[in-house]
Amino acid sequence: MSDSKDLLRAPFELAYNYKRSSGPVMSEFFEALGQQKILGTKSRAGKVFSPAAEFDPETHESLKEMVEVGPGGSVESFSWIEAPQNHHLIKDPFAFALIKLDGADSSMLHMIADCNEADLSIGTRVTAAWSETSDKRITDIKFFTLEK
């Protein structure tokens, strides 16, 4: 009784389409992305978090003050993917990166594309490249590219 004869396999796809409430802080952040502006929230101590955080992760202060940051920033870390997988949004080689936008004290996870691995190091300056259409999601920033 071979294993391959007994192996019943079937492909299936699990799909859900959730609509999540954004709340006041993130709604404003996503609205601004729709206008190609990147916002951050500022704590009483003056620390700025972008993407806009609802709470200061250390002090737990509720954050409401919005400030504009970016669109340029510097690379805090990156990982280069020469062979993107099926689920990746970018099909050519690209990097995931933590980018500290100008004016922010925390970094944003996003992607860097339209460059080579050799162009990137910690500290490289990058700037936001925008999607043609806006869905008011984090993907309105299509990816980041090298600052000219």
Partner 1 sequence: MSAEDTPKDYSESPINLEYFYTAGSATTRFLNQVKEGNIVGQGCPKCKAVYVPPRGSCPRCGVATDIEVPLTDKGCIESFTVVHIPIPGNPIVPPYVCAMIRLDGANISFLHLIQDIDIKKIRIGMRIQAVWKPKEEWTHSLENIKWFAPIDEPDVDVATLRFQES
Partner 2 sequence: MKRVAIVGYAQHPILKNAGALNEVELIMPVVHQLFNDLGISQKDIDFTCSGSCDYLQGAAFAFVEGLSAIQTNPPIKESHVEMDAAWAMYESMLKIQMGDAETALIYGFGKSSPGDLDAIISLQMDPYYISPLWPDRVSLAALQARVLLNQNIISQEQMLATVMEARANSKNNKNALITDLIDESDYLNNPMVSSPLNKLDCPPISDGSSAMIIASEEKAYEFTDHPIWIEGIDHRIESSNLGSRNLATSNTLQASIKQLNLKNIKFDVAELHTQFSHEVPFLKFLLNLQDVPTNLSGGPLVGNVMMCAGLDAVGKTYESLKENQLTHGLAHATSGPCLQHNMLVHLEAKK
Among 4, 11, 85, 123, binds partner 1 (CB under 8 A): 11
Piece in contact with partner 2 (CB under 8 A), picked from 64-72, 110-118, 125-133: 110-118
119 binds partner 1 (CB under 8 A): no
16 binds partner 1 (CB under 8 A): yes
CB within 8 Å of 25: residues ≥ 6 apart: 41, 52, 53, 54, 63, 64, 66
Query: Which candidate, 82, 77, 73, 48, places its Cα nearest to that of 63?
Result: 48
Query: Which candidate, 33, 59, 50, places its Cα nearest to that of 100?
Result: 50
CB within 8 Å of 14: residues ≥ 6 apart: none
Piece in contact with partner 1 (CB under 8 A), picked from 2-10, 46-54, 61-69, 105-113: 2-10
Among 2, 4, 9, 123, binds partner 1 (CB under 8 A): 9
Residue with tokens 């992305």: 33
Neighbours of 101 (CB within 10 A): 27
Which amino acid, one-letter code, is at 57?
P
Interface with partner 1 (CB under 8 A): 6-23, 26-27, 30-31, 135-137
Interface with partner 2 (CB under 8 A): 3, 6-8, 12, 14, 18, 20, 22, 26, 49-51, 53, 57-58, 76-82, 85-89, 96-98, 100, 106-111, 117, 122, 137-139
